[in-house]
Amino acid sequence: MLKKVVLALAVLIVGLGALVASRPSTFRVERSITMASPVEIPFGAVNDFHKWRFWSPWDALDPKMQVTFDGAYAGPGAIYTWSGNDQVGKGKMTNLEAQPYDSIRIQLDFLEPWPASNVTTFTFKTVPEGTQMTWAMEGNNNFMGKAFSLFMDMDGMVGKDFEKGLASLKKLSEEEAKNRREREALMKAREEAEAAKAAEPAQTATPTP
């Protein structure tokens, strides 16, 4: 009887191992959004890690999260490290490449709750409505990652965070675009008023009898 139990467990373990091994060795999560904003606004909000706190979906999960900035202030070479609660974990982002108003590539290294290294890419495209922005993450699945994928849907889990972040960035960018238009309209009105005033003929004083 014991031999049968051991044999059954062995078959189960081998079967489970084969099932895990059959899972995809790579993954990709991607979400897109279109916003009524010139491309330089969302591009700048992503390219500068200091601005992530205004739109990142993870900052709100831990208001006490510790953040440090190293390397370049923004763009390639900029480094962002964070350490927070169980929901945000601990890790580091490094800006690898930034093609102005086209794409940004970031190395994303998770340290806790489990180590992982992925590449995140933001792409920007000018469209009639404003800007179409895509946020994607790619990585490799080791054995633990494959086992994890049996119980958790990476696309559904991470994709929801991407959707929240893109929605926040859309709101931020469209508000900034609106503020710019209002400032430009105000400056133009002032310039036109000053030009009109300067064009008025000088009034000559009427001599008193």
pLDDT of residue 202: 55
Per the structure, how many domains does the chain have? 1
Residue with the larger pLDDT of the pair 183 and 37 = 37
- Listed residue (85, 78, 88) closest to 46, CA to CA: 78
Summarised one tens digit per residue, pLDDT across range 66-97 is 999 999 999 999 999 999 888 888 999 999 99
What is residue 147's predicted lDDT score, i.e. its pLDDT? Answer: 43
Residue 191 included in any domain: no
Please give the pLDDT value at position 17: 45
* Top-ranked range on mean pLDDT: pick from 26-40, 95-109, 183-197: 95-109
Domain-located, residue 205: no
Looking at per-residue pLDDT, the higher value among 149 and 37 belongs to 37
Residue 187 resides in a domain: no
Q: Is 90 exceeded by the pLDDT of residue 1? A: no
**Quick one: three-class SS letters along 34-80?**
EECCCCHHHHHHHHCHHHHHHCCCCHHHCCCCEEEEEECCCCCCEEE
Banded pLDDT at 187 (limits 50, 70, 90): confident
Beta-carbon count within 10 A of 133 CB:
23
pLDDT(4) > 50: yes
CATH number of the domain where residue 135 is located:
3.30.530.20
Any domain includes 196:
no
pLDDT number for residue 138: 83
Top-confidence residue, 207 or 180: 180
Residue-range definition of the domain harbouring residue 119: 24-178
Interval 125-138 mean pLDDT: 95
The answer on pLDDT for 200 being more than 90 is: no
